[in-house]
Amino acid sequence: MTNFEYLAHPPIPNFLFQSIIDKVGPGDMLECFDVPIPVKEFVMPFFPDHYKILVQVIYTDLPIHCDNTRIAAYNFILETGGDNVYTNFFDGPPDHNITERLIIEKNRWHFINTKTQHNITGMEKGKHRISITVYEELKLFKPIVIKENYLSIDGYPIVTYPALD
């Protein structure tokens, strides 16, 4: 499976998602929120009915990890968190050699393979990386700690809060 690909899905109009950007405040590493209903109604016709949709906010760089409840994510970045924020993919385990380094454009749907080790680097202090993320939730994967810096993001409390609007 490829690690990354832009998709032809239609972009979410700014007027539907600006309220999300306006309401994100300080937070800790990574948090997820319910999406406003108009965003959900715009996006979900392009995905299977049982897929989940969340707002994902990243506040800091993320350690190398694989997601453990999904094998793929369909993301749309509203705010990048800085001008030089990289999504990096690594080989292994057990190795951690970087194989791909990407600055993903905002306002473009893309696919990422979340079973390949990846991290986020270059986050600017005080900025947020805000994405709409769509995925098929699977309960198949246990958190694996391979090295000290290899953390399952799903080991962190990903909490779904009430919708932002």
Q: Write the CB contacts of 41 (distance below 8 Å, at least 6 apart in sequence).
A: none
- Tokens standing for residue 103: 């600055």
**Nearest-approach distance from CB 153 to Fe ion, in angstroms:** 5
Query: Closer to Fe ion at the Cβ: 42 or 89?
Result: 89
- Closest Cα partner for 20 from 29, 9, 30, 32? 32
Amino acid (1-letter code) at residue 81? G
Nearest approach in angstroms of CB 16 to Fe ion is: 25
Kindly state the smallest distance separating residue 34's Cβ from Fe ion, in Å. Answer: 19
Encoded amino acid at 4, one letter:
F
Find how far residue 158's CA is from the centre of its chain.
12
* Region 83-142 residues binding Fe ion, contact defined as CB under 5 A: none
| 79 touches Fe ion (CB under 5 A) | no
Query: Residue 20: how many CB atoms within 10 A of its CB?
Result: 23
The residue (of 42 and 90) whose beta carbon lies closer to Fe ion is 90
Q: Residues in contact with Fe ion, total (CB under 5 A)?
A: 1
> Residue 41 CB, nearest distance to Fe ion (Å)?
26
Name which of 67 and 79 has its Cβ closer to Fe ion.
67
User: Which residues on adjacent β-strands are paired with residue 92?
Assistant: none
Q: Which is nearer to Fe ion, 20 or 62 (CB)?
A: 62
**Smaller CB separation from Fe ion, 19 or 141:** 141
Residues 58-77 within binding reach of Fe ion (CB under 5 A): 67
Nearest residue (beta carbon) to Fe ion: 67
* Cα gap 95→91, rounded to integer Å: 6
Task: Using the Cα atoms of residue 127, residue 82, residue 34 and residue 115 in order, give the sign of their dihedral.
Answer: negative
Site of interaction with Fe ion (CB under 5 A): 67
